Structure formats: structure tokens, C-alpha cells
Amino acid sequence: MTTTAGAPRCLAVMPAGGTGSRLGAEVPKQYLDLRGEPMIARAARGLLAAPWIERLVVVVAPGDRRAEAALAGLPRTTLLREGGPTRRDTVLAGLRCLQREHAAGPLDWALVHDAARPGLDLATLDGLRDALAGDPVGGLLALPVSDTVKRADSADAPRVAGTLQREGLWLAQTPQMFRLGPLLDALARFPEVTDEAAAIERAGLAPRLVAGSRANFKVTTADDLELMRRLLADARPAPPE
């Protein structure tokens, strides 16, 4: 989709520089197979299904030798081997690439999406864009907490130390969508944050929460991987009769 003159553009960054050590696989989890395709490719295609996303920058570690083959054939995609030691560093590299190589301006929208979330669907992505179209800050996909939440007393053989009120608690997802200029500034100022919304919050702004999808969970453990494989199998269209 071509934006009208003067309208903000929508561009995306996918940080994919991690090792996925908690999954215990021989390769970084973003390259694990999901129904015949690397996870990173499925996650990228989830974003690229939206024609209004003009460009996707996938940021991998400098020595990554799997990304080029995994992303081969994807349209509107730039591969950047400038991933840093943290998510924040990797996202910053991608945002600066959008500025430097794709003429992104401070008022353009930047969407940041995890390579380990291959279950994003177009309806959910369109819903995020529509919800934030006139928002002065931006926001993120998230799900309200529905289970009772317990606080543990320790990490080793934990016992319940208390029960938290779940009202008002949400589980953050991605994409997270903010104006490029404010997001760059917030990430540069607050290097300790673990996601983009936290940086915007530290800058004194309140990101909007937009209802996400349960299928858009982050693949972190072996159980997550198996569940995602089952979901993708169930989502395949039936063969023609």
C-alpha cells in the first residue's frame, strides 16, 4: 500500500539476535522448523502480510550465517547483521537502519515484533494499526490476565508468598508500535528496559493497550514450540476435494 503524501509511513523491525538458550536446541530458536519453514520466516511473513508495512528490517547477530537462507524470497525485507548484546541494542540498530537506509522520519510509525512470535495474524495486526491511527503515543498488543496470579517466595523450591490482584494486569505481546522519533529517544535514554513500551513509559508517556491474540504467544520452551506446531497444523487450509 502506498501512503498518501504527508501521511506517516509504517515500517517494522524484528530483533533476532538471541540464542534462545532456554529452549535447549542446537540452533537459535528463531531457526527451528515450523511446518517446513524457519520460525523467523513465519514471524516475518506475519508482518509482511500487511501491505501497509512498507519495509521490515530483520536484525541478527554479526556472525549469523543462517538468516540469509531463512529469509530468502521475502519481499520488502532488509537483513541487518548489527544485533547487540541486548534486545534494546538490537532494536536501536534496526530503527537507525530505517532512518539511514529507508528515509524514515520521526513521525513515521515503527512496529517492533519478536522473531519468536510466529502466530501473528493479519486481523490482529490490522486491529493494532486501526486502534493507534489517531493516538498521540502509540501502544502494543497485549492480553488481560485471566488466571489467578501468585507471587513466589523464592526461585528454589518456591512456595506461595501472596496472591496478586489480577484486575488491570495485562501480558505484553508484540508488535509494539510507536512513532520512530520518540521511540529512538526513549531507547537511547533508558538502556535497561526490556521492551519498547517500557522505554516509552520511562519517558513519561502511557502506551495504549490493544487486545491481542492468544495464538500470538512467544515461543520460549519446548512445550511452547510443540503447541505452536499444533496450532499451525490446525490452521492449514483443507486440501481441495
Average pLDDT value for the chain = 91
Residue ranges per structural domain of the chain: 10-140+172-235
- Helix-strand-coil percent breakdown of the chain, rounded to 5? 30, 25, 45
Query: Which pLDDT does position 179 carry in this prediction?
Result: 97
Asked if pLDDT for residue 228 goes beyond 70, the answer is: yes
pLDDT reported for residue 238: 43
Q: List phi, psi (to 5°) of 34.
A: -130, 100
Backbone angles phi and psi of 95, in degrees to 5: -65, -40
More confidently predicted of 23 and 123: 123
Mean pLDDT of 53-73: 95
Say what the pTM is: 0.90
> With 90 as the cut, is the pLDDT of residue 227 above it?
yes
Q: What is the pLDDT of residues 174-199, one digit of tens each?
A: 999 999 999 999 999 999 999 999 99
Tens of pLDDT, residues 100-154: 999 999 999 999 999 999 999 999 999 999 999 989 999 999 999 998 888 898 8
Distances (CA, A) of 216 to 54, 78, 228: 22, 23, 9
CB 46 within 8 A of CB 113: yes
223 backbone dihedrals φ, ψ, rounded to 5°:
-65, -40
Q: Is the pLDDT of residue 25 over 80?
A: no
The Cα–Cα gap between 86 and 198 comes to: 14
pLDDT of 157? 81
> Quick one: CATH architecture of 10-140+172-235?
Alpha-Beta Complex (3.90)
Distance in angstroms (rounded) separating the CA atoms of residues 238 and 221: 29
